[in-house]
Chain A
């Protein structure tokens, strides 16, 4: 019984630490800095990965399939329309939209583990390419003025098809 209580206490402490850590991450100024750090990861994609072409570029169903996967796996952090959320940066930002499909695929595969984005290689490659098609279909947001305080949702974000 003592061991049970000790283990529960230890779990409570570790849960508290992780929750406090999560709360700290959500403060706006820190979030903006974090978003920038996440965007910087895209630039780290190797040339070989960038040069990869999307094999589903001409698949007529890829965007629709990608939108379902996005809703299921990504919208919790990145917002329903990719506008950015409490935990994840906007995917409408030029840093994402102007990236090569191969670079976005590379980020999906590798995650940004130290900044909170898990690896998504558990989704098979074709599903990750479908996600890339969908993310690219969201279109770029208008450029923001410099020193913008945070990545706010873009009002011009296209509405998504719901199937």
Chain B
């Protein structure tokens, strides 16, 4: 499986990059969050291809670089579906494929409200070596990452994750709160977690000229996330928490660059998580695929 991954991951990345150059694109207006979600879904028919990296420090063990590819498709204006492929390299150890995720987000309300809910359902099939830290949940702590890859990847986890996303945009500021409940489909208790975020574009008015460095192209903010224990011991005991300033640069050339420096807030957390991501939105992907199969002339 790891051998297949070593061949497949660069292949998928290369194919994705080629598809970027050959496809029409849309100027992205992406939020800077890497862990938290706001209530904005992918535009219908568009595909966003994203690559993310997380560099994490590890006390009493080897630092790591975890990475994932995301394929986010706007099925309708109220439903976005996403597919993830995850992997990681632990320094002085090895590189391994750690699993995949299939995520769906639904917007139940027709219009904008002061608080906008989005329902999130995800299925994860991952190994114990997963280190992408895409969410904080349960009693996950830094020491869980000490096991060598060869041992950790023997553990297989099938997990369902539910989130309630509550988000509000006011005077250019976005505030979001995500409540998470996750259940390993083996005999494990429900685990809980949270993510909070606040962000704002550096300028609210758009410039009358096309520009890369205009302030409106930059969105800055902060996110905080962590675990809240499980059904048997709910709370902050033996949980990890992070605070991360985040910034997104929405380039006129249709790429979005995100950067986040996360700091562990207690002794159970990794001291430092440096994350970055690159994404591009492909406009009208649904129509292109549909035309391939003769669906639309």
With A4-B100, A124-B204, A125-B172 in contact, is A11–B296 under 8 Å at CB?
no
Query: How many angstroms from the CA of A72 to the CA of B25 in the assembled complex?
Result: 9
Cross-chain contact A23 with B290 (CB below 8 angstroms): yes
Quick one: CB contact mask for A17-33 with B, threshold 8 Å, 1 for yes? 01111110010000000
A-side interface residues, number (CB < 8 Å) = 47
In the bound complex, how far is the Cα of B168 from the Cα of A34, in angstroms?
Answer: 29
Q: With A65-B208, A126-B204 as known contacts, state yes or no: A14 contacts B81, CB within 8 Å.
A: yes
Q: How far is the CA of A109 from the CA of B204 in the complex (A)?
A: 15
Query: Which one of B81, B206, B208, B287 lies within 8 Å of A86 (CB-CB)?
Result: B287
CA distance A23 to B110 in the complex (A): 22
**Does B76 reach chain A (CB closer than 8 Å)?**
yes
Main secondary structure of the interface of A (DSSP, over half): helix
Binds A, one of B39-47, B52-60, B134-142, B228-236: B39-47
CA A64 to CA B172, docked complex, whole Å: 21
In the complex, are the beta carbons of B111 and A110 less than 8 A apart? Answer: yes
B208's partner among A115, A122, A163 (CB-CB below 8 A) is A163
Given the contacts A7-B100, A73-B26, A110-B111, A118 and B295 also touching, CB distance less than 8 Å: no
In contact, A121 and B77 (Cβ under 8 angstroms):
no
Contact A19 B29, CB 8 Å, known A113-B78, A116-B76, A116-B77: no
Report A102-113 CB contacts with B as 1/0, cut-off 8 Å: 000000011111
The distance in angstroms between the C-alpha atoms of A42 and B112, with both chains bound, is: 15
What 7 new A-B contacts, CB under 8 Å, besides A64-B209, A73-B26, A130-B206?
A15-B73, A15-B289, A18-B286, A61-B207, A76-B43, A110-B112, A111-B77
Which B residues have a C-beta under 8 Å from some C-beta of A?
1, 24, 26-27, 29, 31, 38, 40-41, 43-45, 73-79, 81, 83, 100, 102, 107, 110-112, 123, 125, 158, 169, 171-172, 174, 201, 204-210, 216, 283-284, 286-287, 289-290, 293, 295-296
Top 4 closest A-B pairs, CB basis?
Answer: A72-B27, A18-B75, A23-B295, A61-B208
Using a CB–CB cutoff of 8 Å, the interface residues on chain A facing chain B are: 1, 3-4, 7, 10-11, 14-15, 18-23, 26, 56, 61, 64-66, 68-69, 72-73, 76, 86-87, 109-119, 121-127, 130, 163
